[in-house]
Amino acid sequence: MEWWKKSCIYQIYPKSFQDSNHDGIGDIEGIRSRLPYLKKLGVEILWITPMYASPQKDNGYDIADYYSIDPMFGTMEKFDQLVKEAHEMGLKIMMDIVVNHTSTQHAWFKDILKNKDKSKYKDYYIIKEGNQGKTPNNWESMFGGSAWEPLYDGSYYLHLFDVTQADLNWECDELRSEIYVMMNMWLKKGVDGFRLDVINLISKQQDFLDDEISSPKGKRFYANGPRIHEFLKEMNKEVFAHYPCVSVGEMMSMTPEKAVEYTHPSSEEVDMIFSFKHLKVDFANEDRWTRQPANIKEMITILNDWQISINEGNGWNSLVWSNHDQPRVVSRFGSEYEYHQESAKMLATVMHCLKGTPYIYQGEEIGMLNAGLNEINQYKDIETLNIYHERINKGINHEKVMDGIMYQSRDNARTPMQWNLKDYSGFSNVQPWLEMGKRKDICVESALADKNNVFYHYQKLIQLRKDEELLIEGEYTYIESNNDHVWVYTRTLKDKKWLVINNFSDQKENCTIEINEQDKANEVIISNYLDNDLDIHFKTLRPYESIVYNII
């Protein structure tokens, strides 16, 4: 079995993980000092978001030099030492690589600005003539506004994200080879794999037509574009195939059918994809910035559908509640106060018992919550600031705009990691680059001191996945329970069967579980309440109750 199927991936957002030199910004030394904590939790792969040299307009997703570490995080020597120590402790390192675009501060782009039409790098980016003094087409940036920015002499470059993130031209053979050489360099150094940022956007349909259908405009012409499979097969052959590495494609506009095409072993593209469909069930009218109560039934339907289709197609799933672009999961689908611990544990159990590779985003393991920042000037995220101005300019009132931002802003997940009850939660001795979240009582030190804390629940789930082949290879089956707030499923391997019951509601919920009449439970494997009976056919579940039974 591939090693990454068994492992749990922990995502580190370095800027906000641990500051070692007290400049308010997390760094490599900080990560290194916390390896024992991560080891204790039991995770096996550390995915670290970009630490390459960057002007940090999009917190490192705007890379200026793929070959160097940003001084704010440390040096290449420090990075090598981190990899070495992690390996000595049995931890693997997954790099985050951004090859859909570079920063406009990258040497290639700067060469174009300097040498204009003489630059040999003009073909590395997507540069088009304007359309009678206007942009080449009507495509929009994911962060708001046009996706085109004037270059010089009436031409424009494409940027699907910020204006400082210029899209690379994957049609250019030379560009592709340079990217593969660079990726090989990191693997030679000893890193264990890549998370590939927005990788299914790299192949653009070449006629660059106007678009009135997708949102943002243009998306259907580049998401899963015409040459995407060809490019990924080439990347696999040129890079991944030479190392026992893991490759995770972050992809938007995904369906399970498409996911199978990318992850089926015979496709030889990527090992798994990271996608978001189930994390849109609290958007009103598909507008991320206007919230509605989460539609749990829809979420269960989506996740269930992915489990079934991916397994049937022999692909592989990523199991994800949160990352650095998403609000905190407990704020979103759980309870911030009364049932904080119960709901955080339930959410953990649901994900970790599904088939796939689970991800934990830093702080999730202690149930960290949304930031609670209510002034726009407390926000740093470029997307949030752009959206704020765009919406205010459209005449939407400030309170309504802030309501959406407080709930959805990416900064919700980016406030510094809370280690202890000291100033700045032990993240730093000085005011951090982004304000601390409002709920300072939730921190690692308090979590570790309480044997019933959600931290130990995650620890136990991670260990269960190491010990029980059933959780890795076992078949997933949906079980009817006649209650929309409840998700029941089984995992089966040979003659072993586990029943997983989860209540997503903050109320007591009754349900009839449509499992075989003769099935009986003989053991509770894990639960978020201490006293469970062994009845598995009819249950009155307590708020956010979650139980895993062994079935005989």
**In this chain, which residue has its C-beta nearest to Ca ion?**
27
Whether 197 is catalytic is yes
Binding mask 299-328 for ligand TEU (x = CB under 6 A): -------------------------xx---
Binding mask 365-394 for ligand TEU (x = CB under 6 A): ------------------x-----------
Q: Which are the contacts of 244, defined by CB distance < 8 A and separation ≥ 6?
A: 3
Q: Which of 306, 196, 177, 317 is nearest to 245 (CA)?
A: 196
> What region, left, alpha or beta, does residue 217 occupy, with left being phi > 0 and alpha being psi -120 to 50 degrees?
beta
User: If residue 215 lies in a helix (H) or strand (E), which one and from where to where?
Assistant: none
Binding at 61: pick from Ca ion, ligand TEU, none (beta carbon under 5-8 Å per type): ligand TEU
Residue 72 or 547: which CB sits closer to Ca ion? Answer: 72
Cβ contact 483:510 at 8 Å = yes
Binding at 271: pick from Ca ion, ligand TEU, none (beta carbon under 5-8 Å per type): none
Residue 216, token pair as written in the block? 């943002």
Binding at 269: pick from Ca ion, ligand TEU, none (beta carbon under 5-8 Å per type): none
Residue 104 or 527: which CB sits closer to ligand TEU? Answer: 104
Binding at 70: pick from Ca ion, ligand TEU, none (beta carbon under 5-8 Å per type): none
Check residue 70 for interaction with Ca ion (CB under 5 A).
Answer: no
Check residue 509 for interaction with ligand TEU (CB under 6 A).
Answer: no
Q: How far apart are CB 500 and ligand TEU at their closest, in Å?
A: 28
Report the distance separating Cα 253 and Cα 424, nearest Å.
Answer: 38
Radius of gyration in angstroms for the set of CA atoms belonging to the chain, rounded to a whole number: 23
Residue 160 or 443: which CB sits closer to ligand TEU? Answer: 160
Binding at 25: pick from Ca ion, ligand TEU, none (beta carbon under 5-8 Å per type): Ca ion
Report the distance separating Cα 24 and Cα 37, nearest Å.
Answer: 21
Site for ligand TEU in 186-215 (CB under 6 A): 197-198
Q: Which of 474, 529, 345 is nearest to 6 (CA)?
A: 474
Active-site hit among 19, 250, 271, 381: 250
Cβ contact 139:216 at 8 Å = yes
Q: Which are the contacts of 137, defined by CB distance < 8 A and separation ≥ 6?
A: 131, 148, 208, 209, 210, 211, 218
Binding at 23: pick from ligand TEU, Ca ion, none (beta carbon under 5-8 Å per type): Ca ion
Residue 72 or 246: which CB sits closer to Ca ion? Answer: 72
Binding mask 4-43 for Ca ion (x = CB under 5 A): ---------------x-x-x-x-x----------------
Residue 427, token pair as written in the block? 């993240």
Helices and strands (H and E) in the chain: how many: 16, 24
Report the distance separating Cα 297 and Cα 300, nearest Å.
Answer: 5
User: If residue 237 lies in a helix (H) or strand (E), which one and from where to where?
Assistant: helix 228-238
Among 19, 58, 271, 365, binds ligand TEU (CB under 6 A): 58
DSSP string, 399-442: HHHHHHHHHH-GGGGTSPP--SSSGGGGT-SS--SSPPPS-TT-
Site for ligand TEU in 60-79 (CB under 6 A): 61
Residue 22 or 116: which CB sits closer to Ca ion? Answer: 22
Report the distance separating Cα 495 and Cα 475, nearest Å.
Answer: 12
Q: How far apart are CB 23 and Ca ion at their closest, in Å?
A: 4
Which residue in the block uniquely carries the two structure tokens 């409840």? 486
Report the distance separating Cα 139 and Cα 214, nearest Å.
Answer: 10
Report the distance separating Cα 95 and Cα 186, nearest Å.
Answer: 8
Check residue 142 for interaction with ligand TEU (CB under 6 A).
Answer: yes
Binding mask 143-162 for ligand TEU (x = CB under 6 A): ------------------x-
Residue 23 or 469: which CB sits closer to Ca ion? Answer: 23
Site for ligand TEU in 332-371 (CB under 6 A): none
Q: How far apart are CB 73 and Ca ion at their closest, in Å?
A: 8
Cβ contact 318:311 at 8 Å = no
Strand 92-97 relative to strand 193-196, pairing: parallel
Q: How far apart are CB 161 and ligand TEU at their closest, in Å?
A: 4
Report the distance separating Cα 354 and Cα 427, nearest Å.
Answer: 33
Residue 182 or 479: which CB sits closer to ligand TEU? Answer: 182
Binding mask 221-250 for ligand TEU (x = CB under 6 A): ------------------------------
Number of residues that bind ligand TEU (CB under 6 A): 11
Q: Which of 98, 114, 127, 262 is nearest to 194 (CA)?
A: 98
Binding at 383: pick from Ca ion, ligand TEU, none (beta carbon under 5-8 Å per type): ligand TEU
Binding at 161: pick from ligand TEU, Ca ion, none (beta carbon under 5-8 Å per type): ligand TEU
Q: How far apart are CB 384 and ligand TEU at their closest, in Å?
A: 10
Report the distance separating Cα 486 and Cα 546, nearest Å.
Answer: 9
Binding at 316: pick from Ca ion, ligand TEU, none (beta carbon under 5-8 Å per type): none
Question: Running DSSP on this structure, what letter comes out for residue 380?
Answer: -
Partnered with residue 479 across adjacent β-strands are 488
Among 172, 182, 252, 448, binds ligand TEU (CB under 6 A): 252
Four-residue CA torsion sign, 233, 234, 236, 241: positive
Q: How far apart are CB 394 and ligand TEU at their closest, in Å?
A: 17
**In this chain, which residue has its C-beta nearest to ligand TEU?**
61
Residue 365 or 411: which CB sits closer to ligand TEU? Answer: 411
Active-site hit among 167, 197, 325, 509: 197
Amino acid at 87: H
Whether 250 is catalytic is yes
User: If residue 273 lies in a helix (H) or strand (E), which one and from where to where?
Assistant: strand 272-274
Binding site for Ca ion (CB under 5 A): 19, 21, 23, 25, 27
What are the residues binding ligand TEU (CB under 6 A)? 58, 61, 98, 142, 161, 197-198, 252, 324-325, 383
Looking at the annotation, which residues are catalytic? 197, 250
